[in-house]
Chains A and B, each alone.
Chain A
């Protein structure tokens, strides 16, 4: 069988690709279903809540609550990425981090940087730089996170 090595490889590759695609399809629909279930639970809970603790939710909306850790303003910070400094600008408003913009990242490889920048929404949603780094793009991720930390040093209340 002189063609065995080729055919064996071809079949294995097709099987692996098919398995990954099938896996992805199943996982995507499973995660979607889980999310829907979680949303249904959350909305049921909040419906139950509104009737009983009305006064409490009013208290939440007052602007004087100690929501923010930081002073409002725009801050810049810089830290070492993979191949050079990464500069970011962080906007704090209402005491919260509302945006993180990367001003320069000239030393980062493009593919790595585009993976690393995906962690920025996590920083904003968790209001913290203690988020997971993008897998495979640790250096660039840490560059962004450390630069945000540096920027926020000047914003601490």
Chain B
């Protein structure tokens, strides 16, 4: 009897109302259990990716057309004009200098395609219980250099004027034609085969194309990304020998210590590291020096993700992508 009474009593006094501040409401997802947080973040990211995939699939190729245009004009001794492609390239590079490769992580149609193929492969592997062999991380790191070779090759072809004579090999053309439901691929057989090979790669290695081959990614990763919104960790606060952030990172990045200007050009700003850190020790450079106990910008807050996506969307609509 007594035991039953004791059980009832705690319910009677009113639960203490937590003193919520504006920032608690803004970061509502942080009140959720950790697993739920991860799910919410994944869904928001996927929603943004779907939006850009459906409505702005050509942003990547427009920007890269800007790069090709610059070198074609210089090679031909012609004047560089302010074309829509150049405008998109310049705006996207400025955006990247400020926010890092958020475009790659959230808005690039090819990147999203890779994420979905990889998720599908992982789902199938889970169902069948067969795990495909993974590339060793050292191999992956050295393959990341290949994209600079791809970029150099394309730039040289443009500069010498040979690029225009090559048709039917660009896998992006095949992808964009299929996306536009244009199935006249007769002249693009090579491109289609290359696209299929890339898709196989994307399914088995996360961000296969972005990490190893994307020439636009090579341009982005050469940008002097400012530290304000790049991710850092305060190394002295890390758990001993913990590498949770690197393990969860699709680009195998070891984050730089806070207070430096180090650039991690391979970072797609996916924010998974910030969510996976057991000490919530990963944060943007802008708030690196905040006193302990105060909130720091971790870079994976939903409002911050949505804000960056909205800014990018606004820029693209303004530019007429």
Total interface residues in chain B, CB < 8 Å: 39
Beta-carbon contacts under 8 Å, A23-73 to B: 23-24, 27-28, 31
Query: In the complex, what distance in Å separates the CA atom of A80 from the CA atom of B184?
Result: 10
Q: Classify the interface of chain B: helix, strand, loop or mixed.
A: loop
Query: In the complex, what distance in Å separates the CA atom of A112 from the CA atom of B260?
Result: 41
Residue numbers in B under 8 Å from A135 (CB-CB)? 65, 68-69, 72, 164
A109 and B263 form a contact (CB under 8 A): no
A31 and B79 form a contact (CB under 8 A): yes
Residue numbers in B under 8 Å from A28 (CB-CB)? 79
B78 within 8 A of A: yes
- Binary flags per residue of B54-84, CB closer than 8 Å to A gives 1, else 0: 0000100010010011101010011110011
B69 and A23 form a contact (CB under 8 A): no
- Which segment of B175-183, B192-200, B291-299 sits at the interface? B175-183
Total interface residues in chain A, CB < 8 Å: 31
B70 and A83 form a contact (CB under 8 A): no
A112 and B58 form a contact (CB under 8 A): yes
Query: In the complex, what distance in Å separates the CA atom of A115 from the CA atom of B180?
Result: 18
With A3-B261, A135-B164, A136-B65 in contact, is A12–B85 under 8 Å at CB? no
Contact residue among A13, A27, A31, A115 (Cβ-Cβ distance under 8 Å from B224): A13
B319 within 8 A of A: yes
Q: In the complex, what's the smallest C-beta–C-beta distance from B91 to chain A, in angstroms?
A: 12
Interface pairs (30), CB distance under 8 Å: A2-B261, A3-B261, A5-B261, A5-B262, A5-B263, A6-B261, A6-B262, A7-B224, A9-B222, A9-B223, A12-B222, A20-B70, A20-B80, A23-B80, A24-B79, A27-B78, A27-B80, A28-B79, A31-B78, A80-B184, A83-B182, A109-B58, A109-B321, A111-B84, A112-B58, A114-B84, A115-B83, A136-B68, A136-B85, A139-B173
User: Which residues on A are within 8 Å of B, measured CB to CB?
Assistant: 2-3, 5-7, 9-10, 12-13, 20, 23-24, 27-28, 31, 80, 82-84, 107, 109-112, 114-115, 135-139
